Amino acid sequence: MRAVPASPPVPVVSRSFDVLVIGSGIAGLSFALKVAQLGHSVAILTKKNKADSNTNWAQGGIAVVTAETDDFAKHVEDTLVAGDGLCDRAVVKQIIRDGPARIRELVELGLKFSRDHDGEYDLGREGGHSERRILHVKDMTGKAIENALLKSIAREPRVSLFEHVFAIDVVTTGKLAGLVAGKKTARKPAAGASDAAPNRIAGVYALDVRDGRVRTFHAPVVMLSTGGAGQVYLYTTNPDIATGDGIAMAYRAGVEVRNMEFIQFHPTALYSLSGKRFLISEAVRGEGAILRNAEGEAFMTRYHPLADLAPRDIVARAIDAEMKRTGAPHVWLDITHRNAAFLRERFPQIYRFCAAEGIDIAKDKIPVVPAAHYTCGGVATTTAAETSLAGLYACGEVACTGLHGANRLASNSLLEAVVMAHRGAASVNAYLRQARKTAAPALVIPDWKDHHAGDEDERVVLAHNWDELRRTLWDYVSIMRTTKRLERARTRIANLSREIQEYYWNFSVDPRLLELRNLVQVAELIVECALQRRESRGLHAIADYPKKQRRAESSKLRRKGG
Ligand code: SIN
């Protein structure tokens, strides 16, 4: 696939837009395109390059009903079963029904999903799906969608894309003040705001990574589409950017966050001594790969009737149990019964990556381990992508709509991203039109106050804190939990949180510090939600409470005073 050429750097000045989009994955780009086509000016802020997103790493594809043998009811049922009683049925139906229309739009943008020899869609199968329904572009679906969207965005004059601009905090008209890496931002309400008026979005503070200056972006609407938070764990399939920025920002602004304990561990990441965890798509098992333990046994038949294609939480826990039982550092994924030509064609990226690691997947078994993969909870939203704060919206992995419940069905996330981006664009359009009618006073956000006194201590401590946090989550908040372990994690995270507020006060703001601040915030949310849930459900397995409660309820957190 040819990469989209990089655009020249856009000079960042403080500016006003109708809409700010934070993040440049499939959710953010789809939304930006649609809301711009409705006539609004849009700025996309992305902390790295525009193509650095979780989307780019998505191998599997988009789960959507297209086959004659399939229907919406089956897809709904599979989603509800995977979600283990915690999905919102109405949301699930809505998102699944909207799927085919959104896929047609992607095809109109030029996306070419893989087809079989008869020219029909080559539908993949993944864990928990009762039908083959995964549309894919070989094993590079995310990259293909991202490229198609970036090309369309480049042609849209109402969209400005700012690379290397890191959104620090949303600014609201209310009294909530952000704490920025130990630096207090202006505490007074944005000029033009009145105490009596409901709290709403005024814009964001964002760091221009290239010159280290903090800028102000004014807008009545902010769409968070920053993806998930896999980097809070030592081992993850996620790219480096997945540091939970949107979830942390929303929480700091007093917005409700839900179900953060449900972190999905992908069962099959390539085991490598480097510590990096390259994803081996579940679609490989969809094409017949079998998991084997250190003794060579195909163990999944002992754990679930669907064996290797059981829902992900069950497969990940089974692998964890087998590794603990045998003492082996990984299990094996065996696809050696398929020939090399098929594997090269269907999984070119996986084939190449494994070959570079010295593994010929047509001949050798692949060493695999679970790794943190997807944040099922997040910023609570309606099916119109609205959060509890007027003007703040969220879509994609950062959001919690009620689709995934306690465990996401494979390949439902790209579907949710495109559907919610579309629905979000419609609701933002209505919000902006209404806001124009009521003619609220123009808001002026005070400039960022820099507290950098130049007497910062060693920066290496930042790296130590990153390691400590990610190791803590991996050791104490992983696939199998106990209350004692969660409490140990809580104490350690509280220490880190205190350091963020005190130790780093004099540090100049930089991306690693901002990310650490967000990761610590997200870690707190994961642990607090996990301690709230006194049952084992979906991805949250806790030895002290092995049973499910009769009533399924979402865990909810909202910052006091928010
Ligand atoms: C995979 O290809 O196994 C990952 C797809 C997903 O997480 O939905």
**Per-residue confidence (pLDDT) for residue 328, from 0 to 100:** 96
Q: Is the CB of 282 under 6 A from ligand 1?
A: yes
**Hey, how many other C-beta atoms are within 10 angstroms of the C-beta on 529?**
22
The CA–CA distances, whole Å, from 382 to 324, 423, 435 equal 41, 10, 19
**Per-residue confidence (pLDDT) for residue 180, from 0 to 100:** 38
Ligand 1 atom nearest residue 374's Cα: 7
Element (H, E) at 104: helix 89-108
Q: Three-state SS for 355? A: helix
Q: Is the CB of 225 under 6 A from ligand 1?
A: no
**Per-residue confidence (pLDDT) for residue 362, from 0 to 100:** 98
314 vs 321: CA distance, rounded Å = 10
**Per-residue confidence (pLDDT) for residue 503, from 0 to 100:** 76
Are 283 and 60 contacting, i.e. CB atoms less than 8 angstroms apart? yes
- Which candidate, 155, 196, 161, places its Cα nearest to that of 175? 196
**Which residues are tagged catalytic?**
312
38 C-alpha to ligand 1 centroid (Å): 32
pLDDT band, very low/low/confident/very high, at 50 (cuts 50, 70, 90): confident
pLDDT band, very low/low/confident/very high, at 450 (cuts 50, 70, 90): confident
In the numeric block, which tokens belong to residue 501?
Answer: 């507020």
The region of weakest confidence among 73-82, 446-455, 536-545 is 446-455
| Residue with CA at minimum distance from ligand 1 atom 8 | 411
Asked whether the predicted pLDDT for residue 444 surpasses 60, the reply is yes
**Per-residue confidence (pLDDT) for residue 49, from 0 to 100:** 84
**Per-residue confidence (pLDDT) for residue 193, from 0 to 100:** 53
Helix orientation angle between 412-438 and 26-37, rounded to the nearest 10 degrees? 40
Q: Is the CB of 555 under 6 A from ligand 1?
A: no
Asked whether the predicted pLDDT for residue 55 surpasses 80, the reply is no
Asked whether the predicted pLDDT for residue 9 surpasses 60, the reply is no
Are 395 and 421 contacting, i.e. CB atoms less than 8 angstroms apart? yes
**Per-residue confidence (pLDDT) for residue 274, from 0 to 100:** 81
The region of weakest confidence among 55-69, 96-110, 318-332 is 55-69
pLDDT averaged over every residue in the chain: 90
413 C-alpha to ligand 1 centroid (Å): 9
| Residue with CA at minimum distance from ligand 1 atom 4 | 60
Asked whether the predicted pLDDT for residue 106 surpasses 90, the reply is yes
Burial of 134 (0-12, 13-18, 19+ CB in 10 A): buried
Q: Is the CB of 410 under 6 A from ligand 1?
A: yes
Asked whether the predicted pLDDT for residue 335 surpasses 50, the reply is yes
410 C-alpha to ligand 1 centroid (Å): 6
pLDDT band, very low/low/confident/very high, at 355 (cuts 50, 70, 90): very high
Q: Is the CB of 52 under 6 A from ligand 1?
A: no
132 C-alpha to ligand 1 centroid (Å): 14
534 C-alpha to ligand 1 centroid (Å): 29
**Per-residue confidence (pLDDT) for residue 310, from 0 to 100:** 93
Asked whether the predicted pLDDT for residue 331 surpasses 80, the reply is yes
Which residues are registered as beta bridge partners of 367?
Answer: 332
Ligand 1 atom nearest residue 63's Cα: 8
- Which candidate, 284, 244, 4, places its Cα nearest to that of 126? 284
- Higher-confidence position of 70 and 449: 70
Tell me the HSE value of 317 on the side-chain side, using a 13 A CA sphere. 20
How remote is the C-alpha of 315 from its chain's centroid? Answer: 21
Ligand 1 atom nearest residue 414's Cα: 8
Which residues are registered as beta bridge partners of 172?
Answer: 201
pLDDT band, very low/low/confident/very high, at 454 (cuts 50, 70, 90): low
58 C-alpha to ligand 1 centroid (Å): 6
Asked whether the predicted pLDDT for residue 522 surpasses 80, the reply is yes
**Domains of the chain, with CATH numbers?**
268-371 (3.90.700.10), 456-556 (1.20.58.100)
Q: Is the CB of 411 under 6 A from ligand 1?
A: yes
How remote is the C-alpha of 510 from its chain's centroid? Answer: 22
Q: Which of 55, 59, 374 to mutate to test the pocket of ligand 1 (most atoms within 8 A of CB)?
A: 59
The CA–CA distances, whole Å, from 331 to 51, 288, 334, 368, 433 equal 33, 16, 10, 6, 55
Per-residue HEC secondary structure of 487-529 comes to: HHHHHHHHHHHHHHHCHHHHCCCCHHHHHHHHHHHHHHHHHHH
DSSP labels for 436-481? Answer: HHHTPPPPBPPPPPP---S----THHHHHHHHHHHHHHHHHSSSEE
Asked whether the predicted pLDDT for residue 35 surpasses 80, the reply is yes
Predicted TM-score of the model (pTM) = 0.92
143 vs 126: CA distance, rounded Å = 19
pLDDT band, very low/low/confident/very high, at 459 (cuts 50, 70, 90): confident
349 C-alpha to ligand 1 centroid (Å): 14
37 C-alpha to ligand 1 centroid (Å): 31
Note the pLDDT tens digit of each residue in 127-150.
Answer: 999 999 999 999 999 999 999 999
Q: Is the CB of 59 under 6 A from ligand 1?
A: yes
**Per-residue confidence (pLDDT) for residue 178, from 0 to 100:** 42
Q: Three-state SS for 364? A: coil
**Per-residue confidence (pLDDT) for residue 442, from 0 to 100:** 66
Q: Is the CB of 139 under 6 A from ligand 1?
A: no
In the numeric block, which tokens belong to residue 165?
Answer: 């601009």
Q: Which of 78, 236, 266, 408 to mutate to test the pocket of ligand 1 (most atoms within 8 A of CB)?
A: 266
340 vs 361: CA distance, rounded Å = 8
In the numeric block, which tokens belong to residue 338?
Answer: 């398929």
Q: Is the CB of 283 under 6 A from ligand 1?
A: yes
Are 548 and 535 contacting, i.e. CB atoms less than 8 angstroms apart? yes
The CA–CA distances, whole Å, from 302 to 280, 285, 292, 298, 555 equal 22, 17, 12, 9, 32
State the Cα torsion 155-159-165-170 to the nearest 10°: -160
Asked whether the predicted pLDDT for residue 175 surpasses 50, the reply is no
Q: How many helices (H) and strands (E) does the chain have?
A: 13, 23
Ligand 1 atom nearest residue 282's Cα: 3
Q: Is the CB of 60 under 6 A from ligand 1?
A: yes
Q: Which of 56, 280, 281 to mutate to test the pocket of ligand 1 (most atoms within 8 A of CB)?
A: 281
**Per-residue confidence (pLDDT) for residue 439, from 0 to 100:** 66
503 C-alpha to ligand 1 centroid (Å): 39
Helix orientation angle between 89-108 and 412-438, rounded to the nearest 10 degrees? 90
- Which candidate, 113, 112, 6, 136, places its Cα nearest to that of 58? 136
State the Cα torsion 59-245-500-523 to the nearest 10°: -60
Asked whether the predicted pLDDT for residue 182 surpasses 80, the reply is no
Q: What share of the chain is helix, strand, coil (3-state, %, to 5)?
A: 35, 20, 45
Burial of 9 (0-12, 13-18, 19+ CB in 10 A): exposed
Ligand 1 atom nearest residue 280's Cα: 3
Q: Which of 126, 268, 368 to mutate to test the pocket of ligand 1 (most atoms within 8 A of CB)?
A: 126
- Higher-confidence position of 524 and 51: 524
Ligand 1 atom nearest residue 264's Cα: 7
Tell me the HSE value of 163 on the side-chain side, using a 13 A CA sphere. 12
Ligand 1 atom nearest residue 373's Cα: 7
Asked whether the predicted pLDDT for residue 3 surpasses 80, the reply is no
**Per-residue confidence (pLDDT) for residue 64, from 0 to 100:** 98
Note the pLDDT tens digit of each residue in 11-30.
Answer: 455 589 999 999 999 999 99
Average pLDDT over residues 500-513: 83
In the numeric block, which tokens belong to residue 169?
Answer: 């905090």
310 C-alpha to ligand 1 centroid (Å): 14
Q: Three-state SS for 221? A: strand
